[in-house]
């Protein structure tokens, strides 16, 4: 068994608690579905948000999904001129037998621009 990282990102229209939680939950659910893992498989998750998101920690969405024993941390993304605003990013580390090539990274909404090579259509 290996520890593999799954990257994902999503944007919100504005910084509101309900929107951030819903978007984060959508992203995590999509990551979980596309990579066929259970909560028990998750080793940890690291979240970053752009500086214009301050209403809630995105990790709270994971807790609401039942990831209550998973180690979670939130960080602020570095500020780069002309970077994509209102963006939530995550790196989920899972225990799996999948190869690196089998991992499906998920980029939703405007975040698809970040990694067009990895975005699912």
- Considering the candidates 7, 60, 104, 110, report the single residue annotated as catalytic: 7
- Considering the candidates 74, 82, 102, 113, report the single residue annotated as catalytic: 74
Q: Indicate if 54 belongs to the active site.
A: no
Q: Indicate if 104 belongs to the active site.
A: no
- Considering the candidates 77, 79, 110, 113, report the single residue annotated as catalytic: 77
- Considering the candidates 60, 104, 110, 115, report the single residue annotated as catalytic: 115
Task: Report helix, strand or coil for 112.
Answer: helix
Q: Indicate if 77 belongs to the active site.
A: yes
Q: Indicate if 107 belongs to the active site.
A: yes
- Considering the candidates 63, 79, 102, 113, report the single residue annotated as catalytic: 63
Residues whose CB falls within 8 Å of the CB of residue 43, separated by 6 or more in sequence, listed in order:
3, 70, 71, 93, 94, 95
- Closest of 64, 65, 87, 72 to residue 8, by C-alpha: 87
DSSP string, 7-67: EEEEE-SS--HHHHHHHHHHHHHHHHHHHT--GGGEEEEEEEE-TT--SS-THHHHHHTT-
Q: Indicate if 74 belongs to the active site.
A: yes
Q: Would you please indicate which residues are annotated as catalytic (active-site) residues?
A: 7, 63, 74, 77, 89, 107, 115
């Amino acid at each position: 068994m290996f520890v593999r990282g799954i990257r994902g990102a999503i944007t919100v229209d504005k910084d509101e608690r309900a929107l951030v939680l819903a978007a984060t939950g959508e992203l995590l659910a999509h990551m979980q579905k596309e990579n066929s893992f259970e909560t028990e498989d998750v080793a940890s998750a690291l979240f970053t948000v752009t500086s214009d998101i301050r209403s809630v920690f995105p990790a709270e969405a994971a807790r609401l999904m039942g990831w209550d024993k998973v180690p979670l941390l939130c960080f602020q993304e570095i500020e780069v001129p002309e970077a994509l605003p209102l963006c939530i990013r995550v790196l989920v580390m899972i225990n799996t037998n999948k190869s690196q090539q089998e991992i499906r990274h998920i980029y939703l909404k405007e975040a698809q621009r970040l990694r067009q090579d990895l975005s699912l259509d």
